[in-house]
Amino acid sequence: MSTDPDGSAASRSTQDPFRDGGPGLRAALAVRFLLELALLAGSAIAAVRLAPGWPGWLVAVAGVLLVGVVWGLLLSPKARIDIRPIGRVCLEAVLFGSVAGALWASELGGAGVTLLVAWILDRIALRLLSGVAAPRRSPRRRR
C-alpha cells in the first residue's frame, strides 16, 4: 500500500461518512464518538477505584494515555498505521472488553456491561448502515 507524504494511507477514501451518510449512519458515528470518550473515562474511573490514592491517579493517567495512543495510531479515521478491518474489530473488542472488565472489577459492573453492549450494538449498526459489503473469499479451484 502506498502512503501520501504526510504518512496517511492513500487507499483510504476521502469521503466523509458523517457528512455523506444518512441520518442513521450519522447517529451511529455520533454514538461511536461518545463510546470512545466513555472508553477513556471508564479506564480512568476503574483505575482510580482499583488503586486508591495517588497511585490510582498515576495509573488512570497512564491508562488514558495508553488507550488514546492505541486508538489514535490504529483505530482512528486518520490512523497512522493501517490494519485490516478484522484486526480493527479485534483490537476494539480487546479495548472495550478490558475496560468493561476493569469496571466490573471495580464494582461498577453495570457500567461495564453497558459499555460493552453499547459498543457491540454500535458496531452492528455501523456495519449495516455503512453499505460496506463483507469481504468474500474467492472460490478455490478444484484440482
Burial of 26 (0-12, 13-18, 19+ CB in 10 A): middle
Give the integer Cα–Cα distance in Å for 100 and 129.
26
Residue-level pLDDT at 112: 96
Please list the residues that pair with 133 across neighbouring strands: none
Give the CA radius of gyration of the chain: 18
Taking the CA atoms of 21, 26, 30 and 36 in sequence, report the sign of the dihedral they define.
Answer: negative
pTM equals 0.76
pLDDT value of position 52? 87
Helix (H, G, I), strand (E, B) or coil at 3: strand
- Kindly give the interhelix angle for 85-105 and 23-50, rounded to the nearest 10 degrees: 40
| pLDDT means over runs of 10, the chain (143 residues) | 41 61 87 96 96 92 95 91 92 96 95 97 92 49 52
Of 98, 107, 124, nearest to 40 by C-alpha is 98
pLDDT reported for residue 133: 43
pLDDT at residue 78 in the model: 87
Rounded to the nearest 5°, which phi and psi values hold at 107? 65, 30
